[in-house]
Each structure stands twice: as C-alpha cells, then as structure tokens.
C-alpha cells in the first residue's frame, strides 16, 4: 500500500506498517489520492478535510496522533531579566492563551471530524490492536530520537513523562 510521507518520521511509520512511503506534500495530496499515487496516510482531521480525503478514502481512524498545536518559546535568560511584574503578566497571558488554545483546538478538531462524517467518510475509533501497533511504532520513533539526542533527550522525555 502506498502511504503518504513528508518527512523521515512519516516514512518510517509507513515502513513499520509494511507500506511503501511516497513523498507527497499537503498541497499535492488531493491529486495524489485521485491518481492513486497515495492510498493511505496519517494526518490531522483538518488536513483530511482540506484535502477532501473523503472523496478518495472511505475510513478515518481517529487515533489522535496529529492534533495541531502552536507554541511560543522564550529565552530563559531574557525572561529572567524582565521585571517581576512583567514576568507575572506574561505568565498570566500565557496561561489564558493556553486555555483558549486547547479549547479552540478541541472545537476545531470536533468540527473537522464532523465534516468528514458529513461528507461520507466513516470515522471510527481505532481497535485495541491498532492502538498497540501505533504505540509500538511510537516507541521505535522515540528510540531513534533518543539515539540522536542522548542524555539531553532522555532528560526531556523523562520530564515530559513525569509531568
């Protein structure tokens, strides 16, 4: 099966599922599905909707792998030099933006999934077997990342998992 990939991680996902990775960018996805160049892929519901995947693919398994997020990154040294009142105002604004962002993400995701359904796509929860297979692939991707990042990567992952 031809599986859309657009970076090393998605190519590895394809290979681990026994599929043939085919490099296709989002802007070319609808054409690739129409021509048969791509038969499956992993993506967010928004890209599925925007590319009209429902015209070519019958099933969308809601594995919750691609939930679009945004982040603001601040240099710690620069932040620490700010006045305490400015730091507090930034942290308050960040907390409000985070709450608003998660709420909007949930609402938009639900809307896109609903649009896939309305356009005839069968949206299903993944089976336990599918979840286990994705977890196995995820662990493999984590192992690859840890090989590249070493102790620093392990510390980041440990902090994330213990949060």
3 three-class SS = strand
Q: pLDDT tens across 27-86, in order?
A: 999 999 999 999 999 989 999 999 999 999 999 999 988 776 778 889 999 999 999 999
Q: How many domains does the chain have?
A: 2
In this predicted structure, what is the pLDDT of residue 107? Answer: 94
Verify that 66 and 139 share a domain, yes or no.
no
Verify that 109 and 148 share a domain, yes or no.
no
Q: pLDDT tens across 80-121, in order?
A: 999 999 999 999 999 999 999 999 989 999 999 999 999 999
User: What is the Cα–Cα distance from 158 to 111, expressed in whole angstroms?
Assistant: 34
Taking the whole predicted model, whether its pTM rises above 0.85 is answered as no
Q: What is the per-residue burial (b if ≥16 Cβ within 10 Å, else e) of 27-64?
A: ebbbebbeeeebbebbbbbbbbbbbebbebbeebbeee
Verify that 59 and 36 share a domain, yes or no.
yes
- Mean local confidence (pLDDT), 126-146: 94
Output the domain CATH number for residue 57. 3.40.190.170
Verify that 19 and 82 share a domain, yes or no.
yes
Verify that 14 and 81 share a domain, yes or no.
yes
Verify that 132 and 107 share a domain, yes or no.
no
Residue 74's domain comprises 2-122
Verify that 140 and 117 share a domain, yes or no.
no
| Residue 112: how many other CB atoms lie within 10 Å | 19
Q: Say if residue 145's pLDDT is above 80.
A: yes
Verify that 67 and 14 share a domain, yes or no.
yes
At which residue do the structure tokens 């192992």 appear? Answer: 143
Verify that 104 and 41 share a domain, yes or no.
yes
Verify that 140 and 112 share a domain, yes or no.
no
Pairing of strands 122-124, 2-5: unpaired
The DSSP-derived string for 30-50 is: HHHHHHTS-SB----HHHHHH
Verify that 99 and 153 share a domain, yes or no.
no
């Amino acid at each position: 099966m031809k599986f859309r990939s657009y970076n090393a991680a998605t190519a590895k996902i394809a290979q681990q599922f026994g599929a043939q990775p085919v490099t296709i960018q989002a802007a070319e996805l609808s054409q690739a599905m129409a021509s048969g160049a791509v038969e499956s892929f992993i993506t967010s519901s928004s890209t599925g909707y925007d590319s009209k995947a429902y015209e070519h693919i019958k099933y969308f398994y809601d594995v919750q792998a691609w939930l679009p997020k945004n982040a603001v990154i601040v240099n710690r040294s620069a932040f620490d030099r700010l006045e305490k009142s400015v730091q507090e105002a930034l942290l308050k604004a960040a907390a409000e933006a985070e709450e608003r962002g998660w709420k909007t993400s949930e609402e938009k995701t639900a809307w896109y999934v609903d649009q896939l359904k309305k356009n005839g796509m069968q949206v299903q929860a993944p089976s336990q077997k599918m979840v286990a297979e994705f977890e196995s692939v995820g662990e493999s991707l984590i192992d690859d990342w840890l090989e590249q990042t070493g102790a620093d990567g392990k510390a980041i992952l440990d902090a994330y998992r213990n949060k």
